[in-house]
């Protein structure tokens, strides 16, 4: 899907759900179909991929019930032709002969996902971005790693995109991030608010920008706790490595004590990172 807020094609990388009768997609409120799971990685450009197929069914608009067993099938990205990887998959394809026809309309999405999986292997794309970004504002994770999957979750019948923002200042020791939330129910994908999430020994601390946003923390954290933690650690590791390399092209301004802290906490600098980082360490980091 696409949001006009960022002109970014959003894709969470999750499974495709195909109905066994035309039109094959989307999966209706009631019926049987197939869950199609992408591979976790693609090593090189390819004209075919191995996907996992899992029979599924859905009743009265409820949650999909998906079989535990996975069947490995090679799908041609040019034609949609399916080749079984073993005898079990061969029997599945013989029983569900509609699968290639259902996959045909999804081939462009599958090709786009393969290109994105290949691009995800580059973990050094952050270098040119960090050469010129200011330290006094948070930076979206997808600015440094633009091809990673997007964080999309559902709550109360609505679909939301979570854009996680992190501090690019190598001298900052805070353990926080901001998550800007967008409602994907309309084409303009309006912002609904922001969650500030702090990592601490007693668990995450969430500070919502409104009561409505407060209700979105639990479904977001339930689905993406490990991914948000990984992304924060990777982002901050990239910032530290880049600062240590000495390739910083522009220099950040020295923060004023009464100015908002560059880490994005919303607090004044004197009451935030100035308490955590000695002034000499801050200026040392700023000169890198």
- Position 273 confidence tier, pLDDT thresholds 50, 70, 90: low
Task: Give domain status of residue 82, yes or no.
Answer: yes
Task: Give domain status of residue 88, yes or no.
Answer: yes
Task: Give domain status of residue 230, yes or no.
Answer: yes
Listed residues 63, 94, 120: the one ending a domain: 120
Task: Give domain status of residue 3, yes or no.
Answer: no
Number of domain units in the chain: 2
Is the CB of residue 54 less than 8 Å from the CB of residue 42?
no
DSSP codes of every residue in 101-147: HHHGGGHHHHHHHHHHHHHHT---THHHHHTT--SSS-EEHHHHSTT
Task: Give domain status of residue 75, yes or no.
Answer: yes
CA atoms of 234 and 188, how far apart (whole Å)? 30
Q: Is residue 274 domain-shared with residue 142, that is, in the same domain?
A: yes
Listed residues 120, 142, 171: the one ending a domain: 120
**CA–CA distances in Å: residue 279 to residues 49, 110, 285:** 53, 51, 10
Listed residues 86, 120, 154: the one ending a domain: 120
Q: Is residue 47 domain-shared with residue 178, that is, in the same domain?
A: no
| Ranges 206-210, 211-215, 251-255: which has the least confidence | 251-255
pLDDT score at 229:
95
Query: Which run of H or of E encompasses 27?
Result: none
Nearest to 109 by CA among 70, 68, 82, 77: 77
pLDDT score at 266:
66
Q: Is residue 153 domain-shared with residue 177, that is, in the same domain?
A: yes
Mean pLDDT of the chain: 86
CA atoms of 19 and 26, how far apart (whole Å)? 7
- pLDDT, tens only, 89-105: 999 999 999 999 999 99
- Number of helices (H), then strands (E), belonging to the chain: the values are 8, 14
Q: Is residue 112 domain-shared with residue 170, that is, in the same domain?
A: no
Q: Is residue 115 domain-shared with residue 139, that is, in the same domain?
A: no
pLDDT score at 179:
97
Domain span at residue 116 reads: 13-120
Q: Is residue 239 domain-shared with residue 98, that is, in the same domain?
A: no
Q: Mean per-residue pLDDT for 122-144?
A: 89
Task: Give domain status of residue 2, yes or no.
Answer: no
Task: Give domain status of residue 65, yes or no.
Answer: yes
pTM, two decimals, is: 0.81
Q: Is residue 70 domain-shared with residue 135, that is, in the same domain?
A: no
Q: Is residue 133 domain-shared with residue 263, that is, in the same domain?
A: yes
- pLDDT, tens only, 18-55: 999 888 777 777 889 999 999 999 999 999 999 999 99
Q: Is residue 192 domain-shared with residue 113, that is, in the same domain?
A: no
Q: Is residue 88 domain-shared with residue 186, that is, in the same domain?
A: no
Task: Give domain status of residue 6, yes or no.
Answer: no
Q: Is residue 138 domain-shared with residue 279, that is, in the same domain?
A: yes
Q: Is residue 105 domain-shared with residue 165, that is, in the same domain?
A: no
């Amino acid at each position: 899907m696409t949001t006009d807020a960022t002109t970014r094609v959003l894709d969470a990388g999750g499974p495709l759900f195909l109905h066994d009768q035309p039109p094959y997609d989307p999966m209706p409120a009631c019926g049987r179909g197939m869950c199609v799971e992408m591979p976790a990685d693609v090593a090189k450009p390819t004209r075919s991929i191995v996907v996992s197929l899992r029979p599924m069914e859905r009743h009265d608009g409820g949650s999909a019930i998906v079989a535990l067993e996975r069947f490995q099938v090679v799908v041609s990205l040019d034609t949609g032709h399916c080749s079984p990887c073993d005898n079990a998959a061969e029997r599945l394809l013989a029983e569900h002969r509609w699968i290639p026809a259902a996959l045909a309309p999804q081939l462009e999405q599958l090709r786009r996902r393969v290109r994105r999986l290949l691009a995800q292997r580059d973990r050094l794309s952050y270098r040119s971005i960090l050469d010129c970004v200011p330290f006094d504002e948070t930076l979206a994770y997808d600015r440094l790693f633009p091809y990673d999957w997007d964080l999309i979750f559902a709550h109360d019948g609505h679909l939301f995109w979570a854009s996680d923002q992190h501090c690019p200042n190598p001298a900052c020791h805070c353990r926080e991030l901001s998550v800007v939330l967008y409602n994907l129910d309309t084409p303009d994908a309006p912002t609904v608010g922001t969650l500030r999430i702090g990592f601490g020994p007693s668990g995450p601390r969430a500070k919502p920008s409104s009561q409505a946003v407060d209700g979105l923390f639990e479904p977001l954290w339930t689905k993406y706790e490990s991914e948000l933690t990984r992304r924060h650690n990777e982002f901050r590791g990239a910032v530290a490595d880049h600062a240590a390399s000495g390739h910083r092209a522009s220099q950040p301004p020295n923060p004023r004590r009464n100015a908002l802290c560059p880490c994005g906490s919303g607090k004044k600098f004197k009451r935030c990172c100035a308490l955590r980082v000695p002034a000499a360490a801050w200026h040392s980091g700023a000169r890198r």
